[in-house]
Amino acid sequence: MFNAILLNKNEDGTTDARLTQLDDAQLPVDGDVTVRIDYSTINYKDGLAITGKSPVVRKWPMVPGIDGAGEVIASSHPEWKVGDAFVLNGWGVGEVHMGCLAQRARLKGEWLIPRPAGMSAKTAMAIGTAGYTAMLSAMALQEQGVSKDSGEILVTGASGGVGSVAIAILSGWGYRVVASTGKLAEADYLKSLGAADVIDRAELSAAGKPLQKERWAGVVDAVGSHTLVNALAQTRYGGVVTACGLAQGMDLPGSVAPFILRGIRLLGIDSVMAPKARRIAAWQRLATDLDAAKLDAITHEITLAEALSKARDIIEGKVRGRLVVNVNS
């Protein structure tokens, strides 16, 4: 038997989330690697799943947890053997396939990547999908020619997981980063991560003009809706905006003006189905380029039981940085 968070759908459509015990017979049969989970994490999507605030889960019952790190304990997959250290992000785990907010999981070997040498399971989950997505966004800016000399980089949703790690990565690369947040009391925290300036999210979150004063050479946006539209309207000629989140909304109530008059580029960043080679490249750069002290500063460890209440907190915007779940405590 092992501990796990289990989600069930009630007759009235609400979600029941509880800490319980499962056995191996309840693990999915469509997996060829059984793993011991040492650490998981709570992402925004996990918060939606546990609270039932959005129809993230499409198969019931479900163990949530889109991220996991630990070791292989059984495998029929040719690339994985007992004792191998792994990292998992995405692939519908925690949505259509039982996830990693548990002490054990059965997964497909093709979804796993080797944990970078010297990186602990806890560190991997302090990074998690949020940090991995931040790295994918930062890499995209670099690959599109946005250099540290191009101008300021805006990071929205800055006190969240993606935003916090994006600030740490980009400032570490020498970029001048401006953080947008609804929590101005967190300004000192954001500056400690490397933000050169902090602005109120209210400057971006309401409807604005299709074209505004040019400021940003690049943007990492985890918010969507009006915030993304205003960021586009303020991006300098030829600039690049990466979009990876929807904390404000899925809508894009904007104009084609920034694209056809300023030649800016909007890049979608998908972490769930990203190719394996792309994942490995991102994780290798996280292992070498992310300041360990800054990562520690944004990380808070919780127990598996605490994940239930923290899921609501993350949806309500009450969480700063990253929540790491020690599934064995």
Q: What's the chain's length in residues? A: 329
What are 199-231's pLDDT values in tens digits?
999 999 999 999 999 999 999 999 999 999 999
**Which CATH superfamily is 2-115+298-326 part of?**
Medium-chain alcohol dehydrogenases, catalytic domain (3.90.180.10)
Segment 86-110 shows an average pLDDT of 97
- Rounded Cα gap, residues 252 and 97, in angstroms: 30
Q: What is the DSSP string of 153-168?
A: EEESSTTSHHHHHHHH
pTM of the entire structure? 0.94
- Rounded Cα gap, residues 100 and 92, in angstroms: 12
CATH of 128-268 given 3.30.230.10, 1.10.10.970, 1.20.1440.230, 3.40.50.720: 3.40.50.720
Q: Which of 317, 290, 132, 146 is nearest to 219 (CA)?
A: 146
Give kind and range of the element (H or E) at residue 34: strand 33-42
Provide the pLDDT confidence category of residue 317 given band limits of 50, 70 and 90. confident
First-residue to last-residue Cα distance in the chain: 15
Percentage with pLDDT > 90 across the chain: 93
Question: What would the two tokens of residue 112 be?
Answer: 């796993």
Q: How far is CA 99 from CA 17, 64, 121, 190, in A?
A: 14, 5, 16, 31
Around 16, how many Cα atoms within 13 Å sit in the side-chain half-sphere? 8
Provide the pLDDT confidence category of residue 21 given band limits of 50, 70 and 90. very high
Residue 60 identity (one-letter amino acid): W
Contact 266, 149 (CB under 8 A): no
Tell me the helices (H) and strands (E) count for the chain, helix number first: 9, 15
Same fold, 2-115+298-326 and 128-268: no
Judged against a pLDDT cut of 90, whether residue 311 lies above it is answered with: yes
Place of tokens 């670099």: 142
The bridge status of strand 177-181 relative to strand 197-200 is: parallel
Contact 39, 122 (CB under 8 A): yes
Contact 156, 227 (CB under 8 A): yes
Q: How far is CA 271 from CA 75, 88, 209, 312, in A?
A: 25, 11, 31, 23
Place of tokens 């966004």: 137
Give kind and range of the element (H or E) at residue 171: helix 161-172
Judged against a pLDDT cut of 90, whether residue 277 lies above it is answered with: yes
- Rounded Cα gap, residues 35 and 116, in angstroms: 17
Contact 162, 220 (CB under 8 A): yes
Question: What would the two tokens of residue 305 be?
Answer: 């039981």
Q: Which of 86, 31, 110 is nearest to 63 (CA)?
A: 31
CB atoms within 10 A of CB 195: 28
**pLDDT value for 241:** 98
The bridge status of strand 33-42 relative to strand 67-75 is: antiparallel
Q: What is the dihedral of CA 185, 187, 193, 194, to 10 degrees?
A: 180
Judged against a pLDDT cut of 90, whether residue 54 lies above it is answered with: no
Q: Delimit the domains of the chain by residue range.
A: 2-115+298-326, 128-268
Judged against a pLDDT cut of 90, whether residue 14 lies above it is answered with: no
Segment 285-301 shows an average pLDDT of 95
Segment 1-27 shows an average pLDDT of 94
What are 239-257's pLDDT values in tens digits?
999 999 998 999 999 999 9
Centroid of chain to Cα 323 = 11
